[in-house]
Amino acid sequence: MRSRTVFAALVLLAVSIWAVPRLSAAERLVPLPAARRDLVSTAEHVVVTQPEFTGSLGNLARRPGYLAYAQRLAARLREPLTRVDLAEAEDLVLSRLHDPHTSLEGTWNPLSSPDLLPVGFYWAQGGLVAYRVQGSPAALRTGDRVLALGGVPAQAILRRAQRFFSGNVPWLKTLTGQDLPFGNTLRWLGLVHGDAVQVELARPSGERYDLTVRLVPQSLAADRSYTLGRDAFLSRYLAPSGMAEPVGRSFYAWRLTPDYGVFWITSSSDTTGYQAAVDAFFRAVRTAGVYYAVIDLGENPGGYASVAYPLLEHLPLRPAYAAALPGDVRDQNPAEVFHGKVYVLVDGSTMSAAVFSAEMLSEMSDAVLIGEPAGMASGALVGAKNFKTPDGIFGYHVSTVYATPVNGVVTAALEPSAALPLTVRDIQQGIDPVARWLSHLATPRVKT
C-alpha cells in the first residue's frame, strides 16, 4: 500500500512539474549573482585582450573607466533576470568599443528571441524598405518605404542601434536591416508596444499608411530568408550553367558567359578544392578569350584573407607588393596570368577578411572595386579570440590584433571606384544593379 502511495505522489509531482509553463531559451531565468559575475568577467577579459587596451594601440588609462562602466551595468541588473536581459547588458559592454569583432556570440539569431516581426527589412540607398513574407499583413508590399517603427523615425532607429551594433555605417545598416525582425532587437530599441509594432510606411506613389503588426512565435524563423533582405527579392545571376560548384554545397562557385566570367565567394573559408576551382575558372576565362573577370565578395562575412592568394596567382602583380606575398604567389607561370579587366564586387555586408581580400586584390594587382562601401574600415581590429563567461551562460569574441590597411591609408569603409548602389526604386521594380551592370559587359571584338 505504501509503495502505491509513493508511486502516486511521484506521478502527481511529475504532472505538476510538466504543467509549469515552459520558458524558451530566451526567457530562461539567470541567477543574479552569476549574471553580475559574468558581466564583470567579460569586461576584465576585454581589457587584457583587446588592442584598444593593450599593445601598440593600448591606453592603460582607459581600463578603470571601462571596468567601472561594466560594474555599473552589473549593479543595475535585477531579478527576475532572463537570458535576454543579460544578453542586452553583455552586448552593451562589448559594443561600447565599436569593434565588430568584439561581440557576443549567437545573440542575433531566432533561438535568442522568443518572438519576431513577420516583416523583412533592407536598408537600401534612400531608406529602409519592407517586403512581404508569409504571415505579414496583406496590405504590406515589397518596396514600401519604412518611415517609422514604434513611432521612431528610421534614421533615429539607426542611431539607437549604434548602442548594440559595432562597426561603420554600411555594416550598421546591414545588421539593423537583418535583425530588426527579432523581438529582442525591437524591444532593446524601444519599438514594441504590448505585443505589436506600429509601422508607418509610404508607397512608391507617396501615399502614406500605418499598420499594427503583431509579433509572432519564433517558429516562423525556421526560414530566416526574410531577415536577409536582399536575398528575398533578388536573383543576381542567371541559370547556373558553367558553375564549378553549386553555392549550396560550397562557399565558392563560378560561371562563364561569352563576355565575362564571375567567381563568387560567399564565405572566406579555406577548403579543399578552392585552389583547383580558381585555377579552373581562370583557365576557362583564358581559353574562351573573355576580357572581363568579376570576383564577387558581396555578402561575404569573412573568414581568412588568404583566399585572395590563389586569385592573385593569376593576376599581374604590382612590384611594390610582390615581396610581401608568399613564394607560390610570386612565382607565377606567365602563361596562366590573366591580362583582361578584373572587377571586385563589395557591399555593406562584405566584412572582416573579405574586406582585406578585396583590398589585396585592388592594391596588389590592377583589379577595380565596384559596388557599395564595404562593412568594415580599411584598417581594423581582427584575430578574435573566443571566451566563455564563468558560468558558461554566453560565449563571446574579443579582437587581439590591429591589422593595418594594405596601402597604409585608414578609411572608415573600403570605398569602391564605381558605385552600384541598391536603391529603393530598384527594390520596388525588382532590379538588381549588379545583374544590370553585368549585362552591359561585352568583350571587345578586335577586327582582323
Given a contact cutoff of 8 angstroms between Cβ atoms, the answer to whether 89 and 160 are in contact is no
Alpha helices, DSSP H, located in 20-123: 32-47, 63-76, 83-95
pLDDT value for 417: 92
Is the predicted pLDDT of residue 151 greater than 80, yes or no? yes
For 115-129, how does the pLDDT look when each residue is reduced to its tens digit (9 = 90+)?
Answer: 888 888 889 999 999
Percentage of residues of the chain with pLDDT beyond 90 = 42
pLDDT value for 211: 92
pLDDT value for 246: 43
Q: Check residues 256 and 148 and name the one with the higher pLDDT.
A: 148
- Domains by residue range for the chain, with CATH: 25-97+382-401 (3.30.750), 115-224 (2.30.42.10), 235-377+412-421 (3.90.226.10)
- 3-12, 32-41, 45-54, 308-317: segment of lowest average pLDDT: 3-12
Residue 248, amino acid: G
C-alpha cell at 296: 564577387
Q: What long-range pairs does 59-65 form, CB within 8 A, spacing at least 24?
A: none
Given a contact cutoff of 8 angstroms between Cβ atoms, the answer to whether 104 and 91 are in contact is yes
Residue 302 pLDDT class (50, 70, 90 cuts): confident
For 304-333, how does the pLDDT look when each residue is reduced to its tens digit (9 = 90+)?
Answer: 888 999 999 999 999 888 778 887 788 888
C-alpha cell at 213: 503588426
Is the predicted pLDDT of residue 42 greater than 90, yes or no? yes
* Sequence-distant (≥ 6) Cβ neighbours of residue 65 within 8 angstroms: none
pLDDT value for 320: 87
Peptide bond into 316 cis (omega under 30): no
pLDDT value for 14: 37
pLDDT value for 157: 95
Percentage of residues of the chain with pLDDT beyond 70 = 83
pLDDT value for 253: 83
Is the predicted pLDDT of residue 437 greater than 80, yes or no? yes
- 21-30, 268-277, 353-362: segment of lowest average pLDDT: 21-30
pLDDT value for 92: 92
For 153-196, how does the pLDDT look when each residue is reduced to its tens digit (9 = 90+)?
Answer: 999 999 999 888 888 899 999 888 888 888 888 998 999 998 99
Read out DSSP for 141-156?
Answer: -TT-EEEEETTEEHHH
Given a contact cutoff of 8 angstroms between Cβ atoms, the answer to whether 101 and 397 are in contact is yes
For 65-106, how does the pLDDT look when each residue is reduced to its tens digit (9 = 90+)?
Answer: 999 999 999 999 999 998 888 988 999 999 998 898 898 886
For 398-415, how does the pLDDT look when each residue is reduced to its tens digit (9 = 90+)?
Answer: 999 888 888 888 888 889
